Structure 1
Amino acid sequence: MTHREISPCRASALSGRQASAPLFEAIVKHIGLDLIPFHVPGHKQGRGRGQESGIDPEFAEFLGHDALAMDLTEVPGLDDLHAPGGPIREAEDLASELFGADHTFFLVNGTSAGIQAAMMATCGPGDEILIPRDVHRSVIGGLILSGASPVYIPVAVHPEFGIPLGPVPECLLNSLRAYPSAKLVVLTNPNYYGVTRDLRYLVNLCHQYGKIVLVDEAHGGHFAFDDALPPSGLSAGADIVVQSTHKTLGSLTQSSMLHVKGQRVDMARLRQALRILQTTSPSYILMASLDAARRRMFMRGRELVGRAVRLAERARGSINQIIPGGCLSLPALDPARAAVDAHVGPHAGRRPVEAVCGGMCDAMRGELLLDPTKLTISFRGIGVSGYRAGEVLRERYGLQVEFADMWNVLAMVTIADRDEDVDRLIEGIKGLSDIFPGQYLQCLQLQYLRCLQHLDDVFSAPPQHLPPRQACLGRTEAVLLKEAAGRVSAEIVAPYPPGIPVICPGEEVTPGVIEFLTAARELGARFQGPEDPDLTFLRVVDG
C-alpha cells in the first residue's frame, strides 16, 4: 500500500458512515428537545434576551444563538470525552478510518496536550528521548511533565533562509546507536516552515532500533489528501501522530486529534495521560467542529486540498518573479546545500554533514521535502526584516501573515483561500518590494550577521547539566541575561512564532546563545517561556 492508498480512497462501503457527523448530529438533536437546562454552563445555552440574558448581550448577538446553544456539557445522549461510548466514540472511530489509524482521540487542549500525553504514556523519569533540536516548545513541556531526559539530535539549517531543516538522517542513526536504551523518538512533519524529510525512511530506521516514534504533525493534517504533499506520519508507519486539525482542515482553534497505529503504545497509559492533561469540561463546540471537519474532508478533502496546493504554487511562482529566490521552493532544499549547516555541539562550527556525522548525506534516504501550501518569503535581499515586512503587509496592504521571524514571513494557504486572496498577497509583496531599497541596510545587515554567526549555538545541543524537570521545578534565581553565561537555565526561551526553543531547562547558557537572543530582541522578536517576556532577566538554577 502506498502512502496515498489510505482511507479517503477506501471502498464505498464506508461512505455511508463517513458522510455522517454523529457528534454534531447528536448535539443538534439535543438542542431540538428544547429542555430547560439546570446544568452548566452558567449562560444556559444563551437563554434569555437582552439584559435578562445570562451572557453579555452584545457578545451573544455577535456570536449567535445557535453557537451558544451548542455550548453544552456531558448530558445524556452527548457522551463523555474521557470515557466515550456514544457519539464521541463513533466520531473518533470515523476519524480513525479516514486517516488510517487504529485509534483516534479528540483533543480540546490542542496538539500540545496530545504531544505531552504521548510522552507521559511512553516515558518515565530518567528515560531517554531522542529529540531534534528544532522541536516545538510543547515537547520540552513534555520532558518536564514526564521527567524524561532529552538526547538532542543536530539539525540542518538553510544557509539563505536561516530556517531549520530537521534532523540530519546520519545524526539520527548515530544517536540511535549511541543511546540503545532510549524509549522514544520525536519527529516533526512538517516544521512551521513546511519543511520535512521523507518520514518513511526515518520511521523505519527508528523501528529497526526498537523505538516508539511520536510525530508532531501539527501542520500536516492535510498531507493525506493530495499527491503533491509529503507522506503523512500514519502512512509512514509512525506509532503516534498528533495533528492540529484546526490549522489546516477547518475545525476550530484548539481542536486537534491524536492518532495511534500499531501495538507499541500502552493504550491504558495513554488514556490515563489524556485524562490528566485534558480539561474535565471539554468544549462540545470544539469536538463537534472536529467531527464536522472530518466529514468535510471525506466529502471534498482531495478537491479542497488540491485547490490550496495549486493556489500556493501560483503564489510562489509570482513571488519568485518579484523577488528572485525570495519564496522557499523545493529546489532550494537541495541536500547538498542544506547539509552545510548541520551541527553537533556548541563549538562545532559550520561543517558538512559528513564531517559531523561520519557519512555522506544520501538524498534518497530521509530526503528533504516541502509542503507547498506554506509560503516562506525572505525579504533580506530588499533590506527589510521579516518583522518589518509583516507590519507593512498588515498596515498598508491589509494582509495578516501567519508569522514573521528575523528573516522571513510565513503565509499559509489553506482550503479556505480563493484566487482573489492570493492575488492580494502577490500585490502586497510587489508593493512592499517597491518600498524598500534593493540592498541590505547597513544596520540591518549587522544584526543579521550577529544572528547568523550564532545559529550553530541555537541548533546545537549545549551541555545538559540537569533533567528539564529538575531544573524547572527546583530552586531558581533571576539574573541578567547578559550575565547568564555558564549558568544552568531553569526556563524555556523560544522566539514565538515559531516556538522553537533556543534555551531549554537544565542546559548551560552559552555566550553564543546570549548573543543570538540579544540580536533577535533588537530585530523585534517576541519570546514565550521566560518569566520576563522582554528577556532582560533569565531564571536560572540557584547555585
Structure 2
Amino acid sequence: MTDKAATSKGASNRRIDHFFSLPGARADRWRALHASARDWARRGRSDRAGVRALFDALGSYEGFFAYPGNKLLSSLRERIDGDQAEAAAALAQRISEAILTKSYKADATDWQSAEAAAEATPDLNTPTMARGMGRRPYFEMLVVAPGASTRGDSIIEQVRRLRRPEDAFIYEAVPVSSFEEAICAVILNPTIAAVTLYEGFFHEAQGEAPVLRDFLASAGYDAAHIAGDDLPLSLADVLKRIRPELDLYMLSDRHVEHIAGDPRAAGIRRVLYSVEELLELHLCVLEGISDRFRTPFFDNLKKYAMRPISTFHALPIARGKSVFKSDWIRDMGEFYGLNIFLAESSATTGGLDSLLEPTGNIKEAQEMAARAFGCDHVFFVTNGTSTSNKMVHQALVAPGDIVLLDRNCHKSHHYGLVLAGGQPLYIEAFPMTEYSMYGAVPLASIKKALLDLKAEGRLDRAKMVDLTNCTFDGHIYNTRRVMEECLAIKPDLIFLWDEAWFGFARWSPFLRPRTAMGAAEAIEKWMDDPASVEAYEAQQKELGKNPSAAKLLETRLIPDPRKIRLRVYQTNSTHKSMSSLRQGSMLLVKDIDFAGVEAQFHEAVFTHASTSPNQQLIASLDVARRQMELEGYGLVANAIEIALDIRKEVNAHPIISKYFKVLGADQMIPAEYRQTGFTDFLTPGVDWEDQVRSMHEDEFCLDPTRMTLVCGTAGFDGTQFKKMMADEYDIQFNKTSRNSVLLQSNINNTRSDVANLIRVLLEICNKIERELARGGENGRAAFAARVKSLMEDVPDLPNFSHFHEAYRWDAGKKTSEGDMRSAFYSAYYPEGCEYLPLDSPDVDQRLKKGPEMISANFVIPYPPGFPIMVPGQVITKETIDFMRKLDVKEIHGFERAKGLKLIRPDHAKDHVRK
C-alpha cells in the first residue's frame, strides 16, 4: 500500500487494535480471501474483482513472512487473473489452512503447488517431519540485502541448500532490501529468530511502502530518526531495541575486523566476511538458536531421570516405587506419569545442582535468564515472589533504614520490613473510590517524601523506594522518570520494583521501556552520553543554588550522571505470566554495588529459601526462559490482541454493554497523570501513535492485558460474580473489588477463550433481561436499587493515618515513618493487648475522647486486598467507617467474634525503643 493510499484509509488503519492484531489476524485475512474465492467459484466471474482486492491487500504484508512465498503467491495471482476460480479457491484454501494450523513448519508439500506436491519425493532437507526423527523446531531468518526484492528467490534457495539432515533446527529466509522493511518484518513476524545484514541496502522501502511507515516515524524507528552514517550498524541497534532476543549477523566485504571492533557492533553475534563460504553463517545461525534453546538444568534433569539410580536419601517418592507399587495411591502415579517421580531427588550431585549455592547447571541457567531479562544477575526462587520480596528486604535493609513504600503493595513487602527492621514511610496511591481500589503512587508524592526527609536532615536514612509495577489492576509507572527524579534527590537510592504481574513485558517493545530493567538499561545509556552532564548542569544553572521544595516538585529533575549509583531490583512472578509452575519466581538484579552486598544477599537466600526446593519448579523456570527467548515476542503480542478483542467485544455489544463494561485508561487513570491526553486503546480517533506517545511520556499507563470488568451494573458484587462464573460456567477470574472483577489475558489464552467469555456474558445478560421483564416495575426498582448500592453507595477509601508516637522514636515532624517491627512484636504479649468489637460503642468513644486505638496487627480485607491497618498504626474514624461498610467475608487479621486487636497505649509506651 502506498503512502497516499495509507493516508486515504484514514485513522481506521491506524487503530491500536488493528496494529496489535496484524500478526494474529493474518490467518483471518487468508480465510476471508478463501471465502471470497469460494463464493467466486460458485457465482461466477463478477466476484473476481473482490477476490483480487483481498489478494492485493495481503501483498502489503506477505513479503515479511517466509510462507507461502513468492512462488505460491504468484501461482495464486495467476489463477485469479486467469479466471481460474475453482483453482484459485483450492490454492487459497490450502494456504489458509497451512497458516492456521502452522503445518507448513513441518510439511514440505505445503510450500509447493499441487502439481509439484504430487510429484515430490521425501527430502530430509525440507521442513518435513521425517518418520523416526521427530519434528525439528522451525524458525525464520530475516535477510536484509540490496536487491532482495528482485533476487529474493535466489537468496531463499541459497539458504535452503545449506541445510543438512543432522541440523537440530530448520529455517527459511525472509529477504527484504531496506531499513524500513527490516523493522516492519521483525515487528510483524514473530517467527523471525535471527537476522543477517548485508551491506548496501536502502534506507526506505522502494515503491510501495507498508502502512506502518507512520508508526516507525512516531516510534523513532524510521531511517530519518536514526543517527550514524553506517546503516547496517544503525539497523542492528534498532532491531536490538525492538527485539533484544534476536541473534544478529553481519556480512561485509570491507574490513570485518574493524567492524567487529566498533562499539556499535556490540549487539551483533558474529561479523563474517561475505565472500567466504556461507556454511559458516548457517552454522552460526544454528548455534545461536541452540544457545537459546538449551536449558541447562532441565536438560540435566531429563538425563538424571533416565539413569538407574538407587536412592538412600530422605525422599521416598523419588523413582516412584512407593507410588506405583502401592494398592492405595497408584492412581497418583497414573495421573502424573512416571517422569515426575524419576526426576525427583533430594541430592545436589550426580548431574544436579544446589539452588542455595549453585555452581553447575542451575548457576548456568540463572546466567542465561539474566541475559534474557537484560540484567546482571538472576536468582531462581521456588517459594513465590513473596519470598523474593522478603529476600531483597532482608539483604539490603537494616534496622532503622527508611523505605518509601506504597501502602497498597503486596503484604510480603510489609512483612519483609517487619523481619528486616526497616521503617516504612507510607506514600499513598491515588484513590479510585468508585471501584473500591487504589491506583499507583504519584511521583509528586514520592519526591515530596524525599524532600521532606532532606529538609529534616534525615535523607541519609532513606535506603529504598519500593513500588508495584504494574499494579494488580494494571497501572504502569513511568519507571525511568521515577528513578531519574528520585536519583536527582538522592543518587544512591535502591529501587525495588515488584513486577509480579509484569514479567512478560520484557518481550513487548511497547511495554519493555516501562519495566524496571528496561528503564535501567535506558538510564545506563543516558549516563554514558556526554550530553547527560550538559543537561544536568544546564538545569542546575536554571534552578539556582538553593531552589525551594516547591520549585523542585514542579520541575522534572535531572540527576547528576557522575554521582548516580544505579541499584535496581525487580521481582518477577514467572508463574503469573510465563510457562512456569506455581510459585516459580525470579529475582532480577542490576546493581552497580552488588559486590558489596553479595554476601548478605546470599545470607538472605539461606534465610528464606527452602533447603528442599522442588526440582520441577526449577526446571520450569529454566524452560520458561527458553520459551520467552524463542517465541515470547509473538506470545505477548497475541495476549495483547486477545485483551483488545475482549475490550472491543464487551464494550461494543448492544446487549452486553448494557450491563457490563471494561474500563478504559481514562476511567482507570486520572487526567492529570495522562499528560498526552490519551484516553483509551479503542476510543474513536485514537491510534497507535497516540499509544506510543503515551507510553513514552505519561506518568501512568494501563497494561492492556489487564481488564477491569465492571459487574456492579449487572447487579453483581465482585465476589458473587467471580463465584458464579467459576461454579456455573467454568470461567475463572483472579481479583475482585466491590463492583468489578479483573480479567487477565496471558500467553495461554486463545480466541476460543474470548468466544466462550462473550457467549457466557450474553447468556447472563439475556437472563437479566428476562427476569426484569417478568419482575415488572417492582423487579426493575429492586434491580436499580441493587446497582445503586454497588456503584454509588461505596465507602470512602481510608488513607494511612500515622504510627503511634511510641513507635516514632526518631521520626521527623514532616514524615510518617515508624518502627513497625517493634509494634509487631509488642502484640506478642497478651497482657499488652485488648480486643474491641467493631460495632461496640467503646470504639466510637475512643475515637472521640481517646485513648488512641493502636492496631496490633495487619488487617487486610479481600477485596480490596491491601492493609487498611498495620502494626503500630493509629486507627481513625475513616478506617472504622470503611470496615463497617465492608460486606466482604474475608478479612485477614480480623476475628469478628473478638473484634479489633489493639495494643494497649500504656504497653506501647513501655516498649518504646531506646
Instruction: Report the TM range for the smaller structure's normalisation.
Output: 0.7 to 0.9
Aligned residue number for residue 785 of structure 2: 442
C-alpha distance in 1, partners of 2:872/2:792?
28
Aligned residue number for residue 359 of structure 1: none
Q: TM-score scaled to structure 2, two decimals? A: 0.53
Q: What's the CA shift for 1:275?
A: 1.2
Change (3 A) 1:161 1:150: same
Judge which range, 386-395 or 419-428, deviates more: 386-395
Q: 1:226 aligns with which of 504, 508, 516?
A: 508
Change (3 A) 1:60 1:490: farther
Q: Give the conservation status (yes or no) of the 8 Å contact 1:447–1:519.
A: no
Task: Tell me which amino acid in the other structure corresponds to 1:537.
Answer: G
Aligned residue number for residue 667 of structure 2: 332
Q: What's the CA shift for 1:525?
A: 4.4
Q: What's the CA shift for 1:166?
A: 0.4
> Which stretches in structure 2 are left out of the alignment for 5+ residues?
1-236, 250-268, 270-287, 454-458, 521-566, 675-693, 773-779, 808-818, 906-914
Structure 1 residue 303 and structure 2 residue 634: aligned? yes
Task: Tell me which amino acid in the other structure corresponds to 1:279.
Answer: S
Aligned residue number for residue 342 of structure 1: none
Task: Tell me which amino acid in the other structure corresponds to 2:711.
Answer: F
Aligned residue number for residue 705 of structure 2: 373
Aligned residue number for residue 890 of structure 2: 526
Q: Which structure would you say has the larger Rg?
A: 2
Aligned residue number for residue 471 of structure 1: 823
Aligned residue number for residue 8 of structure 1: 245
Task: Tell me which amino acid in the other structure corresponds to 2:836.
Answer: V
Judge which range, 64-73 or 110-119, deviates more: 64-73
Judge which range, 403-412 or 97-106, deviates more: 403-412
C-alpha distance in 2, partners of 1:119/1:90?
25
Structure 1 residue 274 and structure 2 residue 605: aligned? yes
Aligned residue number for residue 736 of structure 2: 404
Task: Tell me which amino acid in the other structure corresponds to 1:66.
Answer: N
C-alpha distance in 1, partners of 2:407/2:322?
53
Q: What's the CA shift for 1:510?
A: 1.8
C-alpha distance in 1, partners of 2:863/2:358?
35
C-alpha distance in 2, partners of 1:471/1:431?
51
Q: What's the CA shift for 1:501?
A: 1.6
Aligned residue number for residue 481 of structure 1: 838
Structure 1 residue 235 and structure 2 residue 548: aligned? no
Q: Give the conservation status (yes or no) of the 8 Å contact 1:91–1:291.
A: yes
Q: 1:189 aligns with which of 465, 469, 492?
A: 469
Partner secondary structure for residue 52 of structure 1:
coil
Q: Give the conservation status (yes or no) of the 8 Å contact 2:434–2:794.
A: no
Written as runs of structure 1 = structure 2, the 5 A alignment for 1:9-48 is 9=246, 11=248, 13=269, 15-48=289-322
Change (3 A) 1:204 1:338: closer
Change (3 A) 1:264 1:428: farther
> Which stretches in structure 1 are left out of the alignment for 5+ residues?
340-361
C-alpha distance in 2, partners of 1:149/1:31?
48
Partner secondary structure for residue 207 of structure 1:
helix
Structure 1 residue 505 and structure 2 residue 788: aligned? no
Query: In the TM superposition, what whole-angstrom CA distance separates every residue of 1:337-377 from its partner, at most 9, and x where no partner exists?
Result: 679xxxxxxxxxxxxxxxxxxxxxx9976621111111210
Change (3 A) 1:92 1:7: farther
Change (3 A) 1:535 1:413: farther
Query: In the TM superposition, what whole-angstrom CA distance separates every residue of 1:128-156 from its partner, at most 9, and x where no partner exists?
Result: 11012221111111111111111111211
Aligned length: 512
Q: What's the CA shift for 1:41?
A: 1.4
Q: What's the CA shift for 1:386?
A: 1.3
C-alpha distance in 1, partners of 2:403/2:705?
31
Query: In the TM superposition, what whole-angstrom CA distance separates every residue of 1:296-353 from its partner, at most 9, and x where no partner exists?
Result: 11111011111111011100111112326821223434532679xxxxxxxxxxxxxx
Q: 2:801 aligns with which of 446, 450, 462?
A: 462
Q: Give the conservation status (yes or no) of the 8 Å contact 2:738–2:790.
A: no
C-alpha distance in 2, partners of 1:363/1:307?
19
Q: 1:102 aligns with which of 365, 376, 380?
A: 376
Q: Give the conservation status (yes or no) of the 8 Å contact 1:450–1:516.
A: no
Partner secondary structure for residue 236 of structure 1:
helix
Q: Give the conservation status (yes or no) of the 8 Å contact 1:194–1:374.
A: yes
Q: What's the CA shift for 1:216?
A: 0.3
Change (3 A) 1:388 1:52: closer
Partner secondary structure for residue 391 of structure 1:
helix
Task: Tell me which amino acid in the other structure corresponds to 2:495.
Answer: V
Written as runs of structure 1 = structure 2, the 5 A alignment for 1:12-411 is 13=269, 15-48=289-322, 50-52=324-326, 56-76=329-349, 77-158=351-432, 160-179=434-453, 180=459, 181-208=461-488, 209-210=490-491, 211-229=493-511, 231-237=514-520, 239-265=568-594, 266-321=597-652, 322-323=656-657, 326-336=661-671, 367-411=699-743
C-alpha distance in 2, partners of 1:58/1:373?
38
Q: What's the CA shift for 1:267?
A: 2.1
Change (3 A) 1:333 1:449: closer
RMSD in angstroms over aligned alpha carbons?
Answer: 2.6
C-alpha distance in 2, partners of 1:80/1:414?
31
Q: Give the conservation status (yes or no) of the 8 Å contact 1:330–1:369.
A: yes
Aligned residue number for residue 426 of structure 1: 758
Judge which range, 146-155 or 158-167, deviates more: 158-167
Change (3 A) 1:335 1:405: closer
Change (3 A) 1:74 1:481: farther
Q: Give the conservation status (yes or no) of the 8 Å contact 1:129–1:148.
A: yes
Change (3 A) 1:79 1:388: same
Q: Give the conservation status (yes or no) of the 8 Å contact 1:133–1:154.
A: yes
Structure 1 residue 539 and structure 2 residue 878: aligned? no
C-alpha distance in 1, partners of 2:834/2:891?
19
Change (3 A) 1:26 1:511: same
Q: What's the CA shift for 1:494?
A: 1.7
- The structure in which a higher percent of residues are helix is 2
Query: In the TM superposition, what whole-angstrom CA distance separates every residue of 1:164-215 from its partner, at most 9, and x where no partner exists?
Result: 2200111111112112231100011111111122111112222222311000
The percentage of counterpart residues that share the same residue type is: 27
Partner secondary structure for residue 235 of structure 1:
helix
